[in-house]
Amino acid sequence: MNEITGNSWKRILIVEDDELSNKVMSLQLKKFFKIDAAVNGTHALELFKKFKYDLILMDINLGAEKNGIEVMKEIKATERGKNIPVVAITAYPHFTDRVIFLKSGFDSYISRPWSADNLIKCITDTLKDR
């Protein structure tokens, strides 16, 4: 719990196109972090330009426009974004998928279905590594 309390001032961007998943994740995390939520890649990039984030949770499948890998690469290509950890959130649970996402530039990975405890642990571990 001390690790979470110590990170309570951290600002996290959730990028998730599924409205229910976005709301659930936001509700679970806002107890511990400052949360902004984007519903697609374009919205995520707009928020990224406006605010400084300590970590980004990025869904891989973002619907009709850019996917999470493309959005992550755009963020990481910027001077400000290159050091922001981005966690892939996906329904692809296989080890090979994890390797592909990490090799593509994500700093960490969590597969669905995730629990609030696993998600918070992933966030705190990723922030601790920074």
The set of residues, in sequence order, having a beta carbon less than 8 Å from that of 35 and lying 6+ positions away, is 11, 12, 14, 26, 29
Q: 17 is in which domain, residue-wise?
A: 2-128
The DSSP secondary-structure symbol of 47 reads: H
Instruction: Please tell me the predicted confidence (pLDDT) of residue 86.
Output: 97
Whether residue 71 contacts residue 48, with contact meaning beta carbons closer than 8 Å, is answered with no
**Tens of pLDDT, residues 1-36:** 445 555 668 999 999 998 998 999 999 999 999 999
Question: What CATH number should be reported for the domain holding residue 98?
Answer: 3.40.50.2300
84-87 long-range Cβ contacts below 8 angstroms, 24+ apart: 84/53, 84/54, 84/55, 84/56, 85/54, 85/55, 85/56, 85/126, 85/127, 85/129, 85/130, 86/55, 86/56, 86/58, 87/55, 87/56, 87/57, 87/58, 87/122, 87/123, 87/126
For 52-75, how does the pLDDT look when each residue is reduced to its tens digit (9 = 90+)?
A: 999 999 999 887 788 999 999 999
For 80-107, how does the pLDDT look when each residue is reduced to its tens digit (9 = 90+)? 999 999 999 987 666 677 788 888 899 9
Residue 54 tokens read as 């300590």
Number of domains comprising the chain = 1
